[in-house]
Structures are given as C-alpha cells and as structure tokens.
Structure 1
Amino acid sequence: MEAMLERKQYTSDLTDAEWVKLEPLLPPKKPVGRAREVNLREVLNAIYYRADHGVKWRNLPSDFPAWQTVYTYFRTWVQVGVWEALNLALVQVVRQSVGREAEPSLTIIDSQSVKLGQKGGTKSALMATKK
C-alpha cells in the first residue's frame, strides 16, 4: 500500500490504535485488475474530516484523495455493510479507551405510552378535517 504523504494533520484523523482495529475490516485488494492506488487510511481520514467539519464532499481539503474517490468508497462501503462494521469497531475502541468492556453488558429500552381520553386524539382530528 502506498505510504501516507506528508500532509497537515487534522484532529479527525484516525489514531494508530483505531487504524489497527479498522484495517482488517476493509475489503482486500482485488486479486486481478488494476491495483489500488489510493491509501484507504487517507480515505477514512477524509470521511471523518467531512463528518467532523460538516463540509460538502467537493470541499474536502486537497491534501486528501480526490473527493470523488472518497465519496465512491464511502457509498460502496455503506451499501455492502463495511461502514457499519467500521463504526461498531470504533465504538469498541472508544469504550476500551475509557476503561469499559468492548461490548456493553446492559441495554435499557424505555418507552412511554399515553392514553387518549374521550376527547381529542385521532378521531377528533379526523372529524375536524371533515368540517
């Protein structure tokens, strides 16, 4: 894989620990065809830059791979489930960095139900629209 070029470091860049966790989850190089020319760590750095700074794809800094390349990888990874796996892995890294287990041991689900009285509710709303 191509070495990372020297560029400005951004606060949204992956740490080495995050990269070690994420790299095995990325699709491998294709065994045939044109060789991958883009550094996938830089693609991820660009995606996280965009998320952190709220910029449009076209407004990614020029020291990242071309925005079209970054967008294509992002779109493909979302479609095939890679993106979800990457985010789950990062959640584990964050949990462990604050001294927690990688997987949560408890889930709390909260719901609230509100009874509709005799007056009001869906029926009254429907009746009001008929008038």
Structure 2
Amino acid sequence: MTEGLQLVPAETTRRYDVFHTDCPARNVVDHVTSRWGIWVLIALRNTDLRFHELRNSIHGISEKMLAQTLRTLIQDELIWREVEPTTPPQVTYGLTEFGKELGVPLTSLFDRITDRLGSRAAEDIA
C-alpha cells in the first residue's frame, strides 16, 4: 500500500447536465428535437439542398418556420449556409460535421420507426 497516494480521476471532457435549465447543451437539444429541426436535419442527411428544395421536401412547413429553423440550426453549428452571388441569390444548405454526427442516430431512429410501421402507415398515407 502506498501512503499519501491519492487517486484523482483524470480530467475528462466536460459533461453538461441537460436537465438543468441553464445548461448550454439544452438549447441545442431543444433545437434538434423541435418540431421542424429534426425534419431539416433528416432532409439534409444525404444531400445539400436549396431553400425551396428543402421547403418542398418537408410537407407542412411554412417559409417563415423553415427560415427560423435554419437560422437556429446555423447558430448551433449543425448546418452551413452558402450564398451564391447571382440574381436572385441562390442559397444552399448542408450539414456540418457536427450535424452529420447527429444525423446518424436521427436517421437510425427515423428508419426504425418507418420499418416498424411498415406497409400499414404507407396505406394510411395513400
């Protein structure tokens, strides 16, 4: 036995308590899981899209809500925005590396739900 030896855990990356109202990670979780945030991330998982392509791929979202959601996800560094200097300007959106990392479990969740629902849900839509 070594006397005076104290075992101190090595400093690890800081963990956030998302259940605490002041936690900065909580905002990102709220944005990702918001009504439209998750759909924007899923829509961008395979390809970059222009604003109207994105709007057309997410049925039910208004231009105002899409613009607001995109602004929030850009601030969270989940998606990027590129403006081409044309008339009118062409704006393209895509996932950042952080967005791609989050897209993996979201896509898995989405795929599990759609697989589980199977043809029953497809019949309801048609």
TM-score scaled to structure 1, two decimals? Answer: 0.29
Higher strand share: 2
Greater relative contact order, per chain length (Cα 8 Å cut-off, separation 6+): 1
TM-score scaled to structure 2, two decimals? Answer: 0.30
